[in-house]
Amino acid sequence: MLNKEQFADNHFIRTIIEEDLKNGKHTAIQTRFPPEPNGYLHIGHAKSICLNFGLAYVYDGACNLRFDDTNPEKENQEYVDSIKEDVQWLGFQWAGEPRYASDYFDQLFEFAVGLIKDGKAYVDDLSADEMREYRGTLTQAGKESPYRNRSVEENLDLFMRMKNGEFLDGSKTLRLKIDMASGNVNMRDPVIYRIRRAHHHKTGDKWCIYPMYDYTHCISDAIENITHSLCTLEFEAHRPLYDWVLENIPTPSKPHQYEFSRLELLYSITSKRKLNQLVSEKYVNGWDDPRMPTISGMRRRGYTPEGLRLFAKRVGISKSENVVDISVLEGAIREELEDSAPRMMAVLNPLKVTLTNFETGKTLSRRHAYHPNHEEMGDRELTINPTIYIERDDFSEHPPKGWQRLTLGGEVRLRYSYIIKCDEVIKDENGQIIELKCSIDHDTLGKKPEGRKVKGVIHWLSTEHAVPATVRLYDRLFTTERPDAMRGENGEYLPFTDFINPNSVAEITAWVEPVANTLNKESHWQFERLGYFVTDRYDHQSDKPVFNKTVGLKDTWQK
């Protein structure tokens, strides 16, 4: 459930909104979230979703979901469906029906005709390479196209013929007539239409010309009466063009664009093109691979909507650089799951322990709650038997200094049960430890031992009551903070795929409590002493449980 406190952080956009409401510039807030359906949404989009939908929620306004579908060659319905699912999973609902830039193609075309009639747009025959040459540089003004001064009549005729499919793809464009000497290269007669014969997921083959983003976006905002158009800082230099278009066409409103810094998450990438490369070249198992920073990948890994909203609040909104270590994200998820996830015991790397003095009727089992702070989650009996499993890492023949777990001749408490002492180590012919012989101190169930201190506590499972489960252990996908910014000896950028962590996933068979055979998909649990895990949203079955590791109990990443 949402509450306004989740979005109560103060930032400059909230200050602007409150001033606009106070002085009557706006009586209600209307925002929009405008993704391009050319890939799955990632953690940067999650921040933007929380901002746009969160502001609308806080100020009792509305937020539209609008698909920027002006690039049909890279867009498809799968991406549309995944985006809608991600937004709703994060806890938000858009106003009315989803909107599409393609809903406005007819209006965009008519506005373009109006700009031609006003002498503010012209059809250009320059190729893409020639256009780049004419455009100039950051320090050198551009040159006017030799086709810039065509008559209104000729431009109208050519534009209609472009629409009717008379010209080859890429042979002509429609450009705004602004200023080729502008210090802002975005204002140097930008292209607003190009010829592209591509099947569109919504309009089919109706159009063979498609509008450009900078032209489409501002008009879509105006048609939808958006009050605050929020985007990341790389679009700041595009704002003069945003304003120019709206000033030169008869739109029903004149929205304002505000920019904030984009999220850069260390040990990750947030380029859709590079994420697509990971998928298409099979470095990962799809867009929803739990190692991916996509919302669907994070969901499958066990991240929660509440945890992601907490993360978005913590990273904040500003114009300053927003570089965040992935440990901040993991910390927010961990904090949310600490309170919400019930506990069970699981042994990932089992070592058999025989309790040599186990006595039926004397050696007792105990009940314990699934969560120490939530009685409503219930409890269960933790049955102890003559043989149990412990974690292999919890025993050492040659323990380091400060060791508080089990060793030969040493004692340790079984969580929620007795203190045991290791009396004998059994090895196979190769010298590998295959079993421990331990004795129970029957006077230590629920109380401290007399005359000595035993600090260590380890988890365990009865061999008779443990059930097998597939457990997928996930780690960070990359071994370096900025995998797409690494340079070689000659200063050249190295392929980001060179820095994929070869140990980012492992699949094992583990032993877990019997409750695992009763769970639904996407059930979040803490494996005591090990971390947080979730039943896989696709592969888990009640009789064949599959868990994905979400995050450890603490940040153990070695930098």
End-to-end CA gap in the chain: 36
Nearest to 56 by CA among 108, 89, 91: 91
| 427 beta partners | 433
pLDDT at 270 over 50: yes
The C-alpha atoms of residue 536 and residue 523 are separated, in whole angstroms, by: 8
The distance of Cα 451 from the centroid of its chain, to the nearest Å, equals: 53
The pLDDT score that the predictor gives to residue 296 is: 98
SS3 assignment, position 179: coil
- For the segment 472-493, the average pLDDT, to the nearest whole number, is 95
The C-alpha atoms of residue 196 and residue 167 are separated, in whole angstroms, by: 10
**Backbone dihedral angles phi then psi of residue 308, each to the nearest 5 degrees:** -70, -35
The pLDDT score that the predictor gives to residue 2 is: 81
CB neighbourhood size of 529 (10 A): 15
Nearest to 426 by CA among 496, 518, 356: 356
Cite the active site residues.
36, 262, 272
User: What is the pTM assigned to this prediction?
Assistant: 0.94
Average confidence score pLDDT of the chain: 96
- For the segment 117-138, the average pLDDT, to the nearest whole number, is 97
- For the segment 255-277, the average pLDDT, to the nearest whole number, is 96
Q: Report DSSP letters for 94-162, one per residue.
A: -SSS-EEGGGGHHHHHHHHHHHHHTT-EEEE---HHHHHHHH--SSS-----TTTT--HHHHHHHHHHH
Q: Report DSSP letters for 5-27, one per residue.
A: GGG----HHHHHHHHHHHTTS-S
For the chain, give the percent of residues with pLDDT over 70.
99
The CA–CA distances, whole Å, from 153 to 131, 157, 160, 305, 551 equal 23, 6, 11, 55, 64
What does the pLDDT look like over 24-46, one tens digit per residue?
999 999 999 999 999 999 999 99
- For the segment 531-556, the average pLDDT, to the nearest whole number, is 94
The C-alpha atoms of residue 340 and residue 526 are separated, in whole angstroms, by: 9
Angle between helices 152-163 and 105-117 (to 10 degrees): 160
Token look-up 């065509």 returns 150
Q: Which residues contact 278 (CB under 8 A, 6 or more apart)?
A: 284, 292, 497
The pLDDT score that the predictor gives to residue 10 is: 84
The pLDDT score that the predictor gives to residue 559 is: 43
* Per-residue exposure over 378-389, b if at least 16 CB sit within 10 Å of its own CB, e if not: eeeebbbbbebb
**Backbone dihedral angles phi then psi of residue 153, each to the nearest 5 degrees:** -65, -45
Nearest to 158 by CA among 188, 200, 123: 123
- For the segment 199-209, the average pLDDT, to the nearest whole number, is 96
- For the segment 339-344, the average pLDDT, to the nearest whole number, is 98
| CB contact at 8 A, 412 and 458 | yes
The pLDDT score that the predictor gives to residue 218 is: 98
What does the pLDDT look like over 161-188, one tens digit per residue?
999 999 999 999 999 999 999 999 999 9
pLDDT at 6 over 80: no
Alpha helices in 316-467 (DSSP H): 326-340
- For the segment 515-530, the average pLDDT, to the nearest whole number, is 98
Please tell me what DSSP assigns to residue 261. Answer: P
Complete domains list, the chain, with CATH: 4-100+215-333 (3.40.50.620), 105-211 (3.90.800.10), 344-465 (2.40.240.10)
* Per-residue exposure over 510-524, b if at least 16 CB sit within 10 Å of its own CB, e if not: bbbbebbeebeebbb
- For the segment 105-128, the average pLDDT, to the nearest whole number, is 98
pLDDT at 541 over 80: yes
- For the segment 499-521, the average pLDDT, to the nearest whole number, is 97
| CB contact at 8 A, 15 and 271 | no
The pLDDT score that the predictor gives to residue 12 is: 95
Strand residues in 394-432 grouped as ranges (E): 411-414, 419-427
The 3-class SS string of 446-469 reads CCCCCCCCCCCEECEEECCCCEEE
What does the pLDDT look like over 408-438, one tens digit per residue?
999 999 999 999 999 999 999 999 999 999 9
**One-letter amino acid identity for 498?**
D
| CB contact at 8 A, 228 and 16 | yes
Q: Which residues contact 477 (CB under 8 A, 6 or more apart)?
A: 267, 268, 284, 291, 292, 500, 501, 504
The pLDDT score that the predictor gives to residue 557 is: 53
**One-letter amino acid identity for 286?**
G
Residue 377 — pLDDT band, cuts 50, 70, 90?
A: very high
The C-alpha atoms of residue 557 and residue 325 are separated, in whole angstroms, by: 11
